[in-house]
Structure 1
Amino acid sequence: MTTETKPRVFAPDDRQDYGDDPTAVRQSGKYTTEYVRGFVEKWDELIDWEQRAKSEGRFFIDVLKARGKTSVLDVATGTGFHSVQLLKAGFDVFSADGSAEMLAKAFKNGVDNDVVLKTVHADWRWLNRDVHGKFDAVICLGNSFTHLFDEADRRRALAEFYAALKHDGILIIDQRNYDTILDDGFSTKHKYYYCGDKVSAEPVHVDDGLARFEYTFPDGSKHNLNMFPLRKDYTRGLLREAGFQQIHSYGDFLEEGEEANPDFFIHVAEKSYGDED
């Protein structure tokens, strides 16, 4: 009797599909199909929750508490890292994401961390259709805003974030340092964001309209994300034009200038005028 080894059959939700020309795929809604189940299940290997918590410390907690904010809408919850951290710190958190696979994983991660996430599947461009009420803060983290390729979509999403905030609310939004990637090439310290030491995340294509990253995992699997390479000053300009009155930017959780070449920028945008940090 002989035993044949059958080739692995991929389920429809276990494989990404970019067609014949992956670098031509530049649509805002593509991310919903990029986060296939196989990729989502490995995402926490990339983040490494324990190391991520150590590296960023209380940064977001302190920013929110310093401004007296208690209710938070996490619009890009992903697998739930920041929602869980903020819930444990005593904030009232509502968790949204455009990927149903990510939301399911986030809810499970919440249960595993003894908290229950209030989740909603929502597209940022129509955020207030699915998320009701006003919040002290909206957070959009994990380089998520770069999933929007059309400027009209970016402006619309920011308008939705603005509308979801109370009159003195704040938006916290982050992005990769695409300026350095575009101008000088890619390098990273993997010091703060993607802390998994056995996972690589590197661009395989970069131009002014696309940064295509490939993520390689210990089991040899590879997954990709197509993102728009937002320049820092462009993002700050969009925030101002959306109506935010005061914008303070950090580089890798440090004040501007303290880190010469940060991997990420974090922008804290306030609806109302106030004292500078």
Structure 2
Amino acid sequence: MPENGKFETYGKVKSASDFYDELSEDYMDMIEFSSKVESESEIFKTIVSEYKITRCLDAGCGVGLHSIILSKLGVEVLGIDISASMIEKARELAQRFGVSAEFEVLDFSLIKEKYKEKFELVLCIGNTLPHLINEKDLLIALRNFYNALVPNGILIAQILNYDKIMENEERIVNVRETPERIFVRFYDFEPTIVGSPSLKVFEIRKDFLKFNVLIVDKTKNYSHKLITTRIKPIKSEDLCRKLRMVGFKEIEIFGDFLKREFKANESKNIVVFARKT
């Protein structure tokens, strides 16, 4: 704890790649990796069967959780991520689980140059898309996902429900405690003034959030570190609109991977199934 007895509101803002490079060693514990390999396998088994998936691009794969799940189900998987440390960890875990998923450090803007009409499934989950804080970069990524799919291929994208988060200004994303550590994921809202305050013609918008991960080590007298990056929240209507802009026509929105109804004021997640026709 700092001498004044208070935590910083947020730390130095890092790029997405630096943020996840620093988080990579703690990421498995933070997301309960091992238990999720088991708990989410049945969900993805259903998806693989329903959409006849043989090849998948796992975009923003992190430490490879879903790449490993899909590989265990017999799918040929390529996992890509902007964080070299995450990719290194994903390769280690794939070897540990005895699967043959491939992993590559690759920016989403470069997908088009390497992969065209190759995959039946593009998976972009784990709240990856909000890290593309420039709208042009987001559209390029979505268009490249579209181009990477074979005809009738499916994009499954998941983000947190920012309709609800922004409306209620919800700061706490998740709190997890293990025998050794405490992980707190939370937001700082960043107001942006648009217009001219001096002329009293302006509005205050909240276009960006600071995403923070506070890690407290209980074995070291509760020492802590705070890692911060910037994200751009995406609401459900905006995500669907952008998917239509890049060519997707059959778009379904749900509250989870089991295709339960999406409720803007209740659902934890936004899960979109978008087919390339």
TM-score tier, shorter chain, comes to 0.7 to 0.9
Q: Measure, in 1, the Cα distance between the counterparts of 2:233 and 2:264.
A: 20
Q: Is the 8 A contact 1:52 1:195 kept in 2?
A: no
Q: 1:80 to 1:202 in 2, by over 3 A?
A: same
RMSD (Å), alpha carbons: 2.5
Q: Is the 8 A contact 2:186 2:211 kept in 1?
A: yes
Code of the residue aligned with 2:26 in structure 1: it is: K
Q: Is the 8 A contact 1:178 1:232 kept in 2?
A: yes
Match of 2:149 in 1: 165
Q: Is the 8 A contact 1:179 1:232 kept in 2?
A: yes
SS class of match (1:139): strand
Match of 1:93 in 2: 77
**Pair 1:268 & 2:266 matched:** no
Deviation of 1:145 after TM superposition, in Å, equals 0.8
Q: 1:196 to 1:245 in 2, by over 3 A?
A: farther
Q: 1:189 to 1:54 in 2, by over 3 A?
A: farther
Match of 1:256 in 2: 261
Residue correspondence of structure 1 range 87-126 to structure 2 within 5 A: 87-126=71-110
Match of 1:50 in 2: 34
Deviation of 1:112 after TM superposition, in Å, equals 1.5
Specify which of 214, 217, 221 is matched with residue 216 of structure 1.
214
Q: Measure, in 2, the Cα distance between the counterparts of 1:99 and 1:233.
A: 29
Unaligned runs of 5+ in 1: 1-15, 273-277
Deviation of 1:180 after TM superposition, in Å, equals 1.1
SS class of match (1:173): strand
Q: Measure, in 1, the Cα distance between the counterparts of 2:133 and 2:176.
A: 26
Q: Measure, in 1, the Cα distance between the counterparts of 2:57 and 2:232.
A: 23
Q: 1:123 to 1:43 in 2, by over 3 A?
A: same
Q: Measure, in 2, the Cα distance between the counterparts of 1:261 and 1:206.
A: 23
Q: Is the 8 A contact 1:79 1:102 kept in 2?
A: yes
SS class of match (2:189): strand
231-240 or 64-73, which deviates more = 64-73
Match of 1:178 in 2: 162
Q: Is the 8 A contact 1:212 1:227 kept in 2?
A: yes
Deviation of 1:56 after TM superposition, in Å, equals 3.9
Match of 1:232 in 2: 236
SS class of match (2:142): helix
Deviation of 1:171 after TM superposition, in Å, equals 0.6
Q: Measure, in 1, the Cα distance between the counterparts of 2:176 and 2:61.
A: 18
Q: Is the 8 A contact 2:76 2:101 kept in 1?
A: no
Residue correspondence of structure 1 range 15-94 to structure 2 within 5 A: 18=12, 22=13, 30-36=15-21, 38-53=22-37, 55-94=39-78
Deviation of 1:195 after TM superposition, in Å, equals 6.5
Instruction: Give the total of aligned pairs.
Output: 244
Code of the residue aligned with 1:105 in structure 2: it is: K
User: Aligned residues: percent identity?
Assistant: 26
Deviation of 1:65 after TM superposition, in Å, equals 1.7
Q: Is the 8 A contact 1:188 1:263 kept in 2?
A: no
Q: Is the 8 A contact 1:251 1:266 kept in 2?
A: yes
Q: Is the 8 A contact 2:171 2:187 kept in 1?
A: no
Code of the residue aligned with 2:82 in structure 1: it is: G
Q: Is the 8 A contact 1:48 1:195 kept in 2?
A: no
Q: Is the 8 A contact 1:189 1:263 kept in 2?
A: no
Code of the residue aligned with 2:214 in structure 1: it is: T
Q: Measure, in 1, the Cα distance between the counterparts of 2:260 and 2:125.
A: 18
Deviation of 1:258 after TM superposition, in Å, equals 7.1
Q: Is the 8 A contact 1:98 1:122 kept in 2?
A: yes
Q: Measure, in 2, the Cα distance between the counterparts of 1:176 and 1:105.
A: 24
244-253 or 201-210, which deviates more = 201-210
Deviation of 1:252 after TM superposition, in Å, equals 3.1
SS class of match (2:95): helix
Q: Is the 8 A contact 2:81 2:105 kept in 1?
A: yes
Q: Measure, in 2, the Cα distance between the counterparts of 1:57 and 1:201.
A: 25
